[in-house]
Amino acid sequence: MNRLVPILAASLTLIVAAPARAQAPTATRRTSGSVTAAVNAITADDIARRIGVIAHDSMRGRDTPSPELEEVATYIAAEFRRFGLRPAGDSGSYLQRYGIVRKAVDTARTRVVLTGPTTTTLKAGVDVNLVRFGPLPDREVVGPIVLFTGPTDSSNPLGGVDVRGAWVAQALTASPQGVQLDQHLATTAFQSGAAGLLIITNRPDAQWQNRLSRVTAPLVTLEGVGGDPAPVIVEIRDETAVRLFGLDVAAARAATRHATRRLEGFTLSFRPVERVVSRVTAPNVVGVVEGSDPTLKNEYLVYSAHMDHVGVAGTGSGCSAVGADSICNGADDDASGTIAVVEAAESFAMLQPRPKRSIMFLTVSGEEKGLWGSAYFADHLPIPANQIVANLNLDMVGRNWKDTIAVIGKEHSDLGSTLNRVAAAHPELRMQPIDDIWPQENFYFRSDHYNFARKGIPILFFFNGTHPDYHQPSDHPSAIDAEKEARIVQLVFYLGLEVANAAERPKWNPESYRRIVEATN
Per-residue pLDDT tens for 277-319?
A: 999 999 999 999 999 999 999 999 999 999 999 999 986 778 9
Q: Is 383 among the domain residues?
A: yes
pTM: 0.85
User: Do both 187 and 309 map to the same domain?
Assistant: no
- Residue 74 has what pLDDT? 98
User: Do both 91 and 214 map to the same domain?
Assistant: no
**From CA 189, how far away is CA 156, in angstroms rounded?**
11
- Residue 24 has what pLDDT? 35
User: Do both 87 and 115 map to the same domain?
Assistant: no
- Closest residue by Cα to residue 259 from 335, 188, 185: 185
- Torsion-angle region of residue 94: left (phi > 0), alpha (psi -120 to 50) or beta? alpha
User: Do both 346 and 481 map to the same domain?
Assistant: yes
Is residue 444 a contact partner of residue 401, using CB atoms and an 8 Å limit? no
- Residue 14 has what pLDDT? 24
- Residue 153 has what pLDDT? 86
More confident residue, 47 or 220: 47
User: Do both 82 and 112 map to the same domain?
Assistant: no
pLDDT of 223 over the 80 cut: yes
Least confident range from 332-341, 389-398, 436-445, 459-468: namely 436-445
Domain boundary among the residues 244, 272, 300 is at 272
Tell me the CATH number at 231.
3.50.30.30
User: Do both 293 and 375 map to the same domain?
Assistant: yes
- Residue 520 has what pLDDT? 74
Tell me the CATH number at 312.
3.40.630.10
User: Do both 292 and 400 map to the same domain?
Assistant: yes
382 CB neighbour count, 10 Å cutoff? 16
pLDDT of 150-199, one tens digit each?
A: 998 888 899 899 999 999 999 999 999 999 999 889 999 999 999 999 99
More confident residue, 13 or 269: 269
Over range 73-80, report the average pLDDT. Answer: 98
User: Do both 90 and 130 map to the same domain?
Assistant: no
Q: Count the helices and strands in the chain (H runs, E runs).
A: 14, 20
| Number of folded domains that form the chain | 2
Residue 365: give the domain boundaries: 33-99+283-520
Q: Is the peptide bond before 481 cis (omega within 30 degrees of 0)?
A: no
Q: Is 117 among the domain residues?
A: yes
Percent of the residues in the chain that have a pLDDT greater than 90, as a whole number:
86
pLDDT of 101 over the 90 cut: yes
- Residue 33 has what pLDDT? 66
Is residue 425 a contact partner of residue 453, using CB atoms and an 8 Å limit? no
**From CA 450, how far away is CA 466, in angstroms rounded?**
18
